[in-house]
Amino acid sequence: MPDNNNPEIGKRPRRCVTTARWLLPTPIPLPGQRDDKNDSAKQCHGALQIGRRSRDLNPNAIRTAFTRMVHPHRASVAIAVPYLPSPHVPLYDGRVFNYDLRTSDTQTSARLGTFSTPHGPIDLPAFMTIGTRGAVRGVTPAQLREAGCQVLLANTYHLALRPGADIVQHHGGLPRFMSWNGPILTDSGGYQVFSLADLREIDDAGVTFRSHLDGQIIRLDPQRSIEIQNALGADIIMAFDQCVRLPATPDDLESSVARTIRWADASKRAHRRDDQALFGIVQGGLDFNLRARCLQALRDIDFPGYALGGLAVGESPDQMYDFLRQFTPTMPHDRPRYLMGVGRPIDILRAVASGIDLFDCVLPTRNGRNASAFTDARTLKLRNEQFKLSHDPLEAGCPCYTCQNFPRGYLRHLFLVGEMLGPILVSIHNIAYYQRLMSRIRSAIAAGRLADLLREFEEKTPSPDPEESQCSSPD
């Protein structure tokens, strides 16, 4: 039985360092505990076996499994158990971040690949679910995993305001703070330069904000943005940039690109952690030559990934698609390509066909909270009278928890009476729908059929609903 006077009991577990090559499938006893088949050892062993089967095992990093044990005297003991991949997978080889291009589609510019991070690989193309303030509203990390999420996005600006980067760092960084053991990306806060236009002043060195919470004056520049993101501890962080709304004047676009290049270089110089990948952001509106100049400057600085910012901010979907089709193939073929803030299913498919790998948008969860459910056939507005007597799931054949358990009529009822379960359940479905869509896209690329899948969606996608096509607000 554990010694209740043991000074290690109740302490936060420290990161384990081990020279062991492989995890041995045996329980590790508590300090002072007999190494026999008692219940605690069985629980520990069971947790380890579950961990070994999990898709969260990362061949590129050693991580620590924390299992909380409760013994008969109710003394809580935290155990730190290092675990490694099975002998069939190579150990971490020193390349923490590595883009592996597996295949390209024969009929389009689509790419199938993997991006390795300290918290696991990301199968690309991928869609990031947004947890602005360190949480996806109403959805637990376990539910996100069940829905198929690989990587989450959190917002630097909002987390810097509340609870503060120092608080997140005190709790071990975002992965531990959020209890999310997969990859995380944080934006730079640069988007607030764009979205909080009435609360800001911009100069060549950075941006001065007036907090939307209490009016406090906040200064954000490349150095401070990277300092905050280093403290937050996400796997992928973004260089500070300036976005402008379209249409924009040539002078505004020139100024935005000049600052974006200058701030990208400052961001790279300020970056202090080799376990975080810093991506550069290409600006320039719909001006191909200006974008090309920005991209070349960022390539000279050298980033492990490149993002396209400043799209879906006023131009039409057709304008965006025409630009992506021309410009994306000019981006580095050996690095991930990230299209920021674009999230309609048809826009994702068109962007993938242009060669984009990574996406984010608030649409799945924001629309879910507003009684709007995504399906292949159409978007369901669940407050409509037509669903009052419906026994159908949101989408036939959908394996998500919501579709397996609740009919449309019940979900409509939840929204009409203001029950919080309604937004949660539809958010879960929408998140799962997006992840299934990305899985279908990856399968179609592997089979050389992405053009067929794109054609299928184009035939049934109506004109964009302005309410559904905007990803601009935080979630």
Are 301 and 265 a contacting pair, CB within 8 Å?
yes
Burial letters 274-307, b for 16+ CB under 10 A, else e: eebbbbbbbbbbbbeebbebbbebbeeeebbbbb
Other CB atoms within 10 Å distance of the CB of residue 333 = 13
Residue with tokens 């719909």: 286
Residue 360 catalytic? Answer: yes
Catalytic residue among 241, 347, 360, 475: 360
* Residue 45 in tokens: 């062993």
Would you tell me how many other CB atoms lie within 10 Å of the CB of residue 353? 23
Q: Round to whole Å and give the CA distance between 200 and 217.
A: 9
Supply the DSSP string of 124-167, one letter for each residue.
ESEEEEE-TTSSBTTB-HHHHHHTT---EEE-HHHHHHTT-HHH
Among candidates 271, 266, 286, 236, which has minimal Cα distance to 118? 236
CA distance linking residue 105 with residue 332, whole number of Å: 17
Q: Which single residue is written with the structure tokens 């029950």?
A: 419
Q: What are 160-167's contacts with CB under 8 Å, separation 24+?
A: 160/189, 160/218, 160/228, 161/211, 161/213, 161/218, 162/133, 162/213, 165/227, 165/228, 165/231, 165/232, 166/231
- Active-site annotation holder among 187, 221, 235, 475: 187
DSSP assignment of 303-320 equals -S-EEE-S-SSSS-HHHH
Q: Please confirm, yes or no, whether 235 is among the known catalytic residues.
A: no
Active site residue ranges: 187, 360
